[in-house]
Structure 1
Amino acid sequence: MSDSHVVVLGAGLGGTIAAYEIRDALKGKARVTVVNKGEDYWFVPSNPWVAVGWREPEAIRVHLPPVMQKRGIAYSSVGAAKVHPTENRVELLDGSAIDYDYLVIATGPDLAYDEIPGFGPDGHTQSICHTDHAAAAHAKFEELCANPRPIVVGAAQGASCYGPAYEMAMVLDTELKRRKIRDKVPMTFVTPEPYIGHLGLDGVGDTKSTLESEMRERHIKWLTNTRVTSVEDGVLHAEEVNDDGSVKKAHDLDFGWAMLLPAFRGVSAVQGIDGLSNPRGFILTDKHQRNPTYRNIFALGVCIAIPPTGPTPLPVGVPKTGFMIESMVTAIAHNLKQIHAGEEPTHEATWNAICLADFGDGGVAFVAKPQIPPRNTNWSASGKWVHLAKIGFEKYFLRKVRKGESEPFYEKLALHVLGIKKLRFD
């Protein structure tokens, strides 16, 4: 099998490093093309810092076409309109198309702000899901600082990424204290999680008591088991529910600045394709990251379907964290190498999790092996060192993307940045 064509759809955290690793694994055996909407990679984990002015957007941007060209990877910035798996073709937004022999879907999510009236950056709340959203949130934050009012932070029902919500709340607290106006800004954390520190993972280590203690120390009130029903200018309407899902209490929360993470769904290019995606638009994959129906399609990252860890009164999704995504990338690269050698794929992602939640003046780190319980390793810790580790993480990952390096990064993070050499990640 020579000169086959592998198309990577998406150039976020997963898609970018997938292109690098697949290129190295299949060098001389396949062409690699990246299809992405736009020419830039943005380091999304730094968006909470952008929202309070600690980072300029340009500092966390990588212009991808020159890097891809240097690595021998073709790049299209047009964006995908629709995947046609029966035709092995990706239709692009300009009406053209790219044929493929193998497709790796790494699109990330579509943000479902429209599912709640008045929600999101086109409504009355801010967002840190994209860097341009975070830059707009910073402008609104400066307005808040000039005219202090309450803040509401958290996540909406169905969200599957909770770490950034906790980070945003703590970073806001830290910055408001630096400006000496924290006493003028009451803050409430709203989440569908059944308890603080659930994180979509039923907790990791002692995250429940650690995060509760942190929020008490910072005078951040919280509402768990809470759904957002609608948002008006300056007022968030929510319902706190009982364990059976019945309404316990309605809340009308005044705010001058609000940011809640939305539920995710699959992007329009893959929605409604029988056998490829589920009703929510997430890609169906087997243990080899391969679609069961279309065997030449693989998928990784936030766009894949993962069932929740267990029943909760409100929908609480499972996060796809960086180490987990990186292990999916490596499995796909090795499996494609096996397929090109005429073998059946055997590699599986480890789905371990290493997370750094930065709080501006400290933070919480946790390791879950595997990410979904029950686990062989279930560890969490907190301290000022986490903030420094997050800065190092940003620096080294951006360097990896800018240089086109394919060597896996997160295990290095575990062994060297966190300094937890007693933990193994094989």
Structure 2
Amino acid sequence: MAKIVVLGAGLGGVIAAYEIRNAARREDEVVVINEYDFYQFVPSNPWVIVGWRERKDIVVDLVKPMKKKKIDFIVGKAAKVDPEAKCVRMEDGSSVDYDYLVISTGPELAFDEIEGLGPHGGHTQSVCHIDHATAGYAAFEELCADPGPVIVGAVQGASCYGPAYETAMIIETELRKRKVRDKVPMTFVTSEPYVGHLGLGGVGDTKGLLESEMRERHINWICNAKVKRVEADKMIVEEMNEDGTLKKEHELPMKFSMMLPAFRGIPAVRDVEGLSNPRGFILTDKHQRNPKYPEIFGIGVCIAIPPVEQTPVPVGVPKTGFMIESMVTATAENLGEILRGKEPTHEATWNAICIADFGDGGVAFVAQPQIPPRNVNWSMAGGWVHTAKIAFEKYFLKKIKSGKSETFYENAALSILKTHKLK
């Protein structure tokens, strides 16, 4: 019998637990450790920040589905992963032993790296967590009652850009509905070298599509941007030249802001030699295993991936749902092989599908593989994207609640490609 511990129950961790339970032998034990007793559908948080969703709409209690799948569920915060002792040490002083460990913690949000950034003691809102988004909604209501300048975007070192574009467009849509858009100047501030780069070197015509959307909605933008600091009523931004030298410093007035932070590995995995890189992201090989500790696997946002290209301002590579799902499946299948005395053979495909809702429209893209050069490099805008995002949310939450796992992102990508005759 083997004990398999999954650390983290976000998108990757939950479906990993389900798939590993299916791939493992009957006698093997599967355990999930998570700081919270719920799963949150993070892609819906841009809707939460404007009041289109409430907490109850996008949060799923994990106790019942885990029990249904015969997965032990430990609610608590990990203090440190100890690979030498093969255990996870918990903040309460206890420890959880493992034979195999799957790290799927997601990131720590590095708000502290920029003065005044973030919802806790800072001056910007966030859509990275349901608690942040609900707090952001209260701030958004204050904005609507007393309109003023809005800044949305992603800071230097960020590795997730889609939610920034979604939040900007959704806020703009809601402001129009409330008849106060004319009182709210909007600026999109991003570390990307151009609008629509997305940390992926662009996909299809995302540059043209997103620039056009910005112009239509009268949203100004600043690219190659470093946020120097944030104050209660303004943001100081350095716009850089292509060679990394300072082009211009902007002092942007601000009444409301949502800025995505840079990510880093959580403290429980940082500074463990051979396990993580200097930023705290898990080092993995093509089979999702750590080279030094092959009994440890890494999946999702917490793994180390080098940037697509060198840019004037640091830009990270996003780990999209399709890519994470592929890592999960490869990990589960590899564990199934290892438990049966075989060598692992499965590799993640690292394809990307993104459905970015803009409130009354949106942009979808498919990149196969995610990092250029690609076999499929496609993007399209239209009202159907908004409808697709709603259907996607409903379907995925249903699967999490039911304890079922399936290649949802892959099926969605294939459906889109087939519909647009791109398969």
Name the TM-score class by shorter chain: over 0.9
1:161 alignment partner in structure 2: 160
* C-alpha displacement of 1:27: 3.7
* C-alpha displacement of 1:421: 6.7
Pairs within 5 Å for 1:238-387: 238-387=237-386
1:24 alignment partner in structure 2: 22
Give TM-score, length-normalised by structure 2. Answer: 0.99
Supply the distance in 2 between the matched residues of 1:386 and 1:52 (Cα, whole angstroms): 19
Supply the distance in 2 between the matched residues of 1:83 and 1:106 (Cα, whole angstroms): 12
Supply the distance in 1 between the matched residues of 2:364 and 2:3 (Cα, whole angstroms): 40
Residues 308, 371 of structure 2: 8 Å contact kept:
yes
Supply the distance in 1 between the matched residues of 2:28 and 2:371 (Cα, whole angstroms): 34
Supply the distance in 2 between the matched residues of 1:416 and 1:223 (Cα, whole angstroms): 35
Change (3 A) 1:27 1:402: farther
Count of matched residue pairs? 422
Supply the distance in 2 between the matched residues of 1:182 and 1:383 (Cα, whole angstroms): 22
* C-alpha displacement of 1:408: 1.4
2:77 alignment partner in structure 1: 79
2:96 to 95, 98, 110: 98
Residues 25, 336 of structure 2: 8 Å contact kept:
no
> Identity of paired residues, percent?
66
1:389 alignment partner in structure 2: 388
CA deviation profile, 1:149-179 (whole Å, cap 9, x unmatched)? 0000000000000000000000001000000
RMSD of Structure 2 on Structure 1 (CA)? 0.9
Residues 414, 420 of structure 1: 8 Å contact kept:
no
Amino acid at match of 1:64: L
For the residue of structure 1 that corresponds to 2:84, the secondary structure is helix
Supply the distance in 1 between the matched residues of 2:346 and 2:417 (Cα, whole angstroms): 27
For the residue of structure 1 that corresponds to 2:305, the secondary structure is coil
Pairs within 5 Å for 1:65-76: 65-76=63-74
For the residue of structure 1 that corresponds to 2:127, the secondary structure is coil
Residues 414, 421 of structure 1: 8 Å contact kept:
no
* C-alpha displacement of 1:316: 0.2
1:151 alignment partner in structure 2: 150
CA deviation profile, 1:396-420 (whole Å, cap 9, x unmatched)? 1001100011121112222346753
Supply the distance in 2 between the matched residues of 1:138 and 1:77 (Cα, whole angstroms): 28
Residues 266, 280 of structure 2: 8 Å contact kept:
yes
* C-alpha displacement of 1:343: 0.8
1:204 alignment partner in structure 2: 203
Gapped runs of 5+ residues in structure 2? none
Residues 285, 291 of structure 1: 8 Å contact kept:
yes
Residues 25, 339 of structure 2: 8 Å contact kept:
no
Amino acid at match of 1:341: R
1:113 alignment partner in structure 2: 111
Supply the distance in 2 between the matched residues of 1:403 and 1:412 (Cα, whole angstroms): 18
Residues 206, 379 of structure 2: 8 Å contact kept:
yes
Residues 199, 307 of structure 2: 8 Å contact kept:
yes
Supply the distance in 2 between the matched residues of 1:92 and 1:344 (Cα, whole angstroms): 31
1:219 alignment partner in structure 2: 218
1:404 alignment partner in structure 2: 403
Change (3 A) 1:417 1:395: farther
For the residue of structure 2 that corresponds to 1:86, the secondary structure is coil
Supply the distance in 1 between the matched residues of 2:224 and 2:191 (Cα, whole angstroms): 4
CA deviation profile, 1:16-46 (whole Å, cap 9, x unmatched)? 0000000001141411000000101000000
CA deviation profile, 1:181-217 (whole Å, cap 9, x unmatched)? 1000000000010000000000000000000000000
CA deviation profile, 1:95-128 (whole Å, cap 9, x unmatched)? 1000000000000000000000111002011011
CA deviation profile, 1:206-264 (whole Å, cap 9, x unmatched)? 00000000000000000000100101101101100011111110011111100110000
Amino acid at match of 2:116: G
Amino acid at match of 2:73: Y
For the residue of structure 2 that corresponds to 1:87, the secondary structure is coil
Give TM-score, length-normalised by structure 1. Answer: 0.98
Amino acid at match of 2:271: G
Supply the distance in 2 between the matched residues of 1:321 and 1:373 (Cα, whole angstroms): 15
CA deviation profile, 1:313-362 (whole Å, cap 9, x unmatched)? 01000000000000000000000011011111010000000100000000
For the residue of structure 1 that corresponds to 2:330, the secondary structure is helix
CA deviation profile, 1:32-65 (whole Å, cap 9, x unmatched)? 0000001010000000000000000111010001
1:35 to 23, 33, 36: 33
Residues 90, 98 of structure 1: 8 Å contact kept:
yes
Alignment pair present for 1:124 and 2:144 = no
1:181 alignment partner in structure 2: 180
* C-alpha displacement of 1:423: 4.1
Supply the distance in 2 between the matched residues of 1:234 and 1:348 (Cα, whole angstroms): 48
Change (3 A) 1:418 1:151: farther
2:52 alignment partner in structure 1: 54
